[in-house]
Structure 1
Amino acid sequence: MRYLVPVAGALSVGLALLSGCSAPQDAEPEERKPRASKAAERVPEPLTSAELKALTFKDGEVPQASEGGMEVTEFAAEEGESEFPPVSDPYCQFVNEIRSGESASAGVSQLFNWKDDIFAGDSVIAAYPAGRAESEFDRLREALDRCESYEGESYGGDYRARIEEKSTAGFGDEAVTFLEMIPMDHPKDPRERVSQFTVVRVGDVIATFLRYDLGHTTPFPADLIKKQVERLAEAQEQRVR
């Protein structure tokens, strides 16, 4: 996984998520071929990590975030596997891999330390070869249809999670949003950690936006998702002109 969030018993700000869900162990999301191209045009190379980083938010552009609190980290597909074993359900494992850019050719993650919240948010922006993002998004939809609950392991130990409220979202070329619930098992605060994910495909890029809270849903700011999506779309349009 490219990023982590606190698991049961660990409320560290700025860590990002590891997760998964529940289906037959011998079943895996079927790999699909890229959708047929709509136009026989020159195929551009995928955006690089450096190009994606240049499209992220800079200090002063996000009024909701603290100054200096939006660190960006580049990653590449060849950087290696997760330190932890796959979660208990293969469909949920695929959801986790997509939202953290595991199979992308390049990507970046950005941290958002909010002024009014002790819990940080995150975005993961992953670029794919031409047509690959579409097929990966098809597989994501299938996996979300089957992913309901799962068990996994993280730095905080073993954890249990479930996925709820899966729906489409109005961003980019196609988008989905869903909630992930993880019991905190804290004797003085039994509230669940509720993480909301919005996953957006913009051309050959898949961007995931995460924000979490305890006991209720706090969505990632829609205006920031829209601005990030517009930048990604414009950058790809310029490449094919």
Structure 2
Amino acid sequence: MAGALIAGLAFLSGCSAQQDAESEEKKPRASKVVESAPEPLTGAELKALTFKDGEVLQAREGGMEVTEFAAEEWERKFPPVSDPYCQFVVDVRGGNNSSAGVSQIFNWKDSIFPGDSIIAAYPAGRAESEFDSLREALDRCEPYEGESYAGDFRARIEERSTAEFGDESLTFLEIIPSDHPDDPRERVEHFTVVRVGDVIATFSRYDLGRTTPFPVDLIKKQVERLAEAQEQRVR
């Protein structure tokens, strides 16, 4: 009798398990939603978002040339600087790891030294990780040596507090001591780097013996255009 009872329970249990499996199979399954990430902005699209003659009161008319560039066409013009962390900073601010970008020159009315912006687009999510790495590289960058069109140089990076632009922003100086016997002024370039979605924009302004930031109103306008262009792509 006991054997028959055990066998009966096993049979019922097997039936119950089979019924549960069949019931599970009959349930409607949630369809997988695959969201395709938008393609990065192209060089032509970025160029259309830059400033046109007459829009920048601080700049000379006809003095805001824009140049497109693509990562596959980029070639290093000088050997890497002596510190790899500093080289990463140089690469990011130049848009060298991006999928496409543009650079714009600003010839200011009140200065003989131009400023520039470099706007670089990245595949989805890449700009955020690039910005995280930039933050770490700035923390680790030691005084370094390198080469430029002006010859060999030694420089240091100094971080500065920054106004909040876009999704996140960083501000720092690149300072190069004078090598001119009659002019002790340091060469100072002020950088503000802003991430706007999948775009990183770098605004810089150069001066001698003093720090001259890139105009805040122009940074805000450029960031607004980049944000709006990306929002329209996902609507």
TM-score, scaled to structure 2: 0.84
Question: Which residue is equivalent to 1:187?
Answer: 181
1:25-52: CA deviations, max 9, x gaps? xxxxxxxxxxxxxx97431000000000
What SS does the aligned partner of 2:51 have?
A: coil
Question: Which residue is equivalent to 2:92?
Answer: 98
Distance 1:227 1:40, change over 3 A: farther
1:52-82: CA deviations, max 9, x gaps? 0000000000000000000000000011321
Question: Which residue is equivalent to 1:164?
Answer: 158
CA shift, 1:157, in A, is 1.4
Give 2:79's match in structure 1, choosing from 61, 85, 96. Answer: 85
Give 1:76's match in structure 2, choosing from 65, 70, 94. Answer: 70
Provide the C-alpha distance between the structure 1 equivalents of 2:34 and 2:140, rounded to a whole number of angstroms: 35
| Stretches of structure 1 lacking an aligned partner (at least 5 in a row) | 1-38
Alignment of 1:141 with 2:141, yes or no, is no
CA shift, 1:150, in A, is 0.4
Question: Which residue is equivalent to 2:213?
Answer: 219
More helix by share: 2
Please tell me the root mean square deviation across aligned C-alpha atoms, in Å. 1.3
What SS does the aligned partner of 2:221 have?
A: helix
CA shift, 1:165, in A, is 3.0
| Stretches of structure 2 lacking an aligned partner (at least 5 in a row) | 1-32
Within 5 Å, give how 1:36-115 maps onto structure 2: 41-115=35-109
Moved >4 Å (runs of 4+): none
Maintained 8 Å contact 2:162/2:169:
yes
Larger Cα Rg: Structure 1 or Structure 2? Answer: 2
Question: Which residue is equivalent to 1:230?
Answer: 224
What SS does the aligned partner of 1:220 have?
A: coil
Maintained 8 Å contact 1:169/1:198:
no
Maintained 8 Å contact 1:163/1:181:
yes
Provide the C-alpha distance between the structure 2 equivalents of 1:80 and 1:73, rounded to a whole number of angstroms: 13
Aligned residues: 203
